[in-house]
Structure 1
């Protein structure tokens, strides 16, 4: 099996776990949390999901970087936007950085306050929906590589 194909398989498995988990969180868990006003369900899901979600994200980062090098998009070409594949890689990296910022905000600001203050639920909801939307966007961007980029 060609290295690129193997990397793509692992990348897609990671994306399945990451995006799928966030879709479940947004469409199943979050409505229950709002209906029952029970943030405990959110914390319960988060503690279980992060054990597979974070490693999946790490797999996607590692495989994504390696695949970009196979496509001859080295770190020095990131954010140049000069060719179609560079644009995909650069846009996905911007999305990843945005997700990291949301994760840091959630971890260090929103979640600690949400444990004792349900009024932070709208802010947490915004974080969840934003990360889910950005994750789906990354999936869509990645699909353009098949057609030579954007």
Structure 2
């Protein structure tokens, strides 16, 4: 039962994280790029962050917890010796890449945008990559239901 509750929290958190980024990517970003209206992007970022960042934190916590529940602990990560380990390891790699993009956006790109320095194209790349990584993580997670890739 605990695993099922963790999965529900994980899925709700993933819906928030990926859904928010898909909305940003498909709805907000095209208009921002066309109008060069940085404020619209910053407004979305400010309104989404209080929901999105806790969702990401819950994703990490529940993901690690469920991995341990599957019997796959840190010593098994990146061994790629079973289909479950492979999926979990790939998810961790994609998560780390996502975190790098998030850190880059928060420490490099957004501060410049807030100061009026045009970094919209760079931000668009960050948004696109985080959105695609979220989709890939979602797809990879679906393989766990069936025991991995094999």
Could you say which TM-score interval applies, normalised by the shorter chain? over 0.9
Which structure dedicates a bigger proportion of its chain to helix?
A: 1
CA distance in 1, matches of 2:42, 2:73: 39
CA distance in 2, matches of 1:51, 1:117: 25
Alignment of 1:60-99 (within 5 A): 60-99=59-98
* Cα RMSD, aligned residues only: 0.8
1:29 aligns with 2:28: yes
Runs of 4+ in 1 over 6 A off after TM superposition: none
Instruction: Give 5+ residue unaligned stretches, structure 1.
Output: none
- Deviation, 1:117, is 1.6
What is the aligned partner in structure 2 of residue 104 from structure 1? 103
TM-score (structure 2 length as normaliser): 0.96
Tell me the alpha carbon deviations over residues 9-44 of structure 1, each in whole angstroms, 9 at most, x when there is no partner.
000000000000000000011011112210100000
**Secondary structure of residue in 1 paired with 2:75:** helix
**Secondary structure of residue in 2 paired with 1:14:** helix
- Deviation, 1:110, is 1.0
What is the aligned partner in structure 1 of residue 126 from structure 2? 127
Q: How many residues are aligned here? A: 148
